[in-house]
A and B are shown apart, each in its own frame.
Chain A
Amino acid sequence: MLIAGKVSWALITLVFSLAMLVVLYLASRKIYVPQIREHPGVHAITEAVGRAAEMGRPVSFSPGTSSLYDTKYAGDTAAALTLLGYVAKEAVKTGSKLIVGIAPPTVLPVAQAIVQTAYSLEGKSEEYVEGDTVRFYSPDQWGFASSYIGMMYRERVAANFLFGGHAAEALILAETGATVGAMQVAGSTNVYQLPMYVVACDYTLIGEDQLAAAAYLSPDPAQKGVIFGQDIAKLICVGLIVLGAILSTAGIKIIYQLLAS
């Protein structure tokens, strides 16, 4: 039995998921491979790691202060971890020292495994230092912030990546990165922290850009299919908004009642 007030939620989730799965199937079978526009922020990730390698200075990465089972920002953390995989691979390839700062303990073993795998895949397992490449700072927001900015100053990082769920500490981290002269790429779905990143960082992945960044970077066409499916879902949303506004103006509340059901 469906819970009252969540019928529309269930329907929308089902329709959107189906739309994405259809495009994913088409892309994986190469029946229709969508073309995705170039995203400067995503390409800047590779550029920033390359710059750090040229300067001979480290790359720092924060997957945020939210845990993997955070109600609101778990998606951000998952997206940050997928991006960590890419950054780690690039850092190992270019020979840059990577420092990953961790706040939530649940993220620590996952981040360690991701970075360790990246080092192993490039045949440089010996360069991965337990407890030093992936550093656990503090589960406390400000404890983490002070440790991370201290690390940025001491190590003089040349590239800094801030992804995942960051709250009030976002600006302090980003401003410190700007002060030490790091090229910074950040991403967030926290609409209150986005302006801070836009001001302090070189590139910002706004909202869903961060969530889709790993798919952008993937050479697998099926991954891009999901992004296209995402756009179809957004088009459905826009259609519902426009139709709902017109019908509500005409006194017909059908869309409103459907979404509130």
Chain B
Amino acid sequence: MAGVWRKIASVVLLVAPAIILFDFALKNPTLQSVATDLNNWAVVVGAFALGIGAYSLVLRHGRMISKRRPEWPYSIMLLLTMFTFIVTGLVTGSITSPQYNWIYTAIVMPVSSTLYGMNAFFIASASYRAFKAKSWEALVLLVAAIFLMLKNAPIGGVISPVLPQIGGIIWDFAGATGMRALLIGIGIGTLALGLRVIIGQEKTPLGGAE
């Protein structure tokens, strides 16, 4: 039975991307309509998948609470928060209701912003490790980074107007060309991966090894 499902999935994987690809390049109302439907189905499947995610969370944290595993009170907090969100959304009937919005702006947003803000400290610690010139490559990285910092920080221009210019040259020429070369490779690599999946060479995204 699993083999039959795998075959059906392979056919879907062959046909669906082909429709989307042709819709991108061809002007055909029928093709466009089918492609739009396929995209909508993906959104619906995504919504169902969220239910599987919620089930997985309840299963895992329910087990942690019942077995009194270390830090189990946090699991209670997680499940309480999750169900508070769900109940608030269902009772108010909208995710744009003031109550739902209040939970989001008063709890989720500050916590997310705090985590995002922590990036600054992580960048500092990562830079410290990267800028230890242990090899020639690290030395090049260090020198380039110093010039780029002097380009962006006002002190660079105060020391000498040449310093920001050197930083600009590194950014515009070395950085931009390297990035574009990478993007070309990424584009071709994505095409190759898509091709491997479509023609059935790569079976893992179907949910398992061959």
Contact = CB atoms under 8 A, between A and B. Distances in A.
B191 A13 contact: yes
A175 B126 contact: yes
Contacts of B183: 191, 207
A139 B52 CA distance: 12
A42 interface: no
Contacts of A215: 196, 202
B189 A75 contact: yes
B192 A2 contact: no
Given A140-B112, A168-B119, A214-B202, A85 B208 contact: yes
A214 B49 contact: no
A210 B188 CA distance: 12
B53 A105 contact: yes
Nearest to B82: A138
Nearest to B125: A175
Interface in B104-141: 108, 111-112, 115-116, 118-119, 122-123, 125-127, 129-130
Interface string B183-205: 11110111111111101011011
B56 interface: yes
A210 to B, nearest CB: 8
Contacts of A9: 24-25
A17 interface: yes
Contact of B186 (A13, A141, A211, A227): A211
Contacts of B129: 178, 199-200
A32 interface: no
Interface size bucket, B side? 35 or more
B57 A136 contact: yes
Contact of A214 (B111, B199, B204): B204
Nearest to A188: B186
B179 interface: yes
Interface in B63-79: 63, 70-71
Interface residues of A, number: 83
Interface stretch (A33-41, A112-120, A242-250, A252-260): A112-120
Contacts, number: 195
A2 B25 contact: yes
B159 interface: no
Contact of B49 (A13, A106, A174, A223): A106
A172 B118 contact: yes
B115 A146 contact: yes
B50 interface: yes
B207 interface: yes
A145 B182 CA distance: 27
A110 B205 contact: yes
Contacts of B194: 75, 78
A212 B185 CA distance: 11
B157 interface: no
Interface string A123-157: 00000001110111001111101100000001000
Given A10-B25, A105-B53, A121-B209, A171 B123 contact: yes
A20 B195 contact: yes
Contact of A105 (B52, B191, B193): B52
Given A2-B25, A168-B116, A199-B127, A207 B197 contact: no
A117 B209 contact: yes
B50 A89 contact: no
Interface string B8-28: 000000000000010011111
Nearest first, the 9 closest Cβ-Cβ pairs linking A and B are A208-B189, A117-B208, A113-B207, A211-B189, A105-B49, A75-B190, A10-B25, A131-B60, A105-B53
19 contacts: A17-B191, A24-B199, A75-B194, A105-B49, A106-B46, A108-B53, A109-B49, A109-B207, A130-B59, A131-B56, A139-B53, A140-B108, A142-B112, A146-B111, A154-B70, A171-B126, A172-B122, A194-B182, A223-B202
Given A3-B27, A78-B205, 12 more contacts: A9-B25, A13-B25, A69-B39, A78-B197, A114-B208, A130-B59, A142-B115, A146-B111, A211-B189, A212-B193, A220-B201, A226-B201
Interface of B: 21, 24-28, 39, 42, 45-46, 49-53, 56-57, 59-60, 63, 70-71, 108, 111-112, 115-116, 118-119, 122-123, 125-127, 129-130, 179, 182-186, 188-197, 199, 201-202, 204-205, 207-209
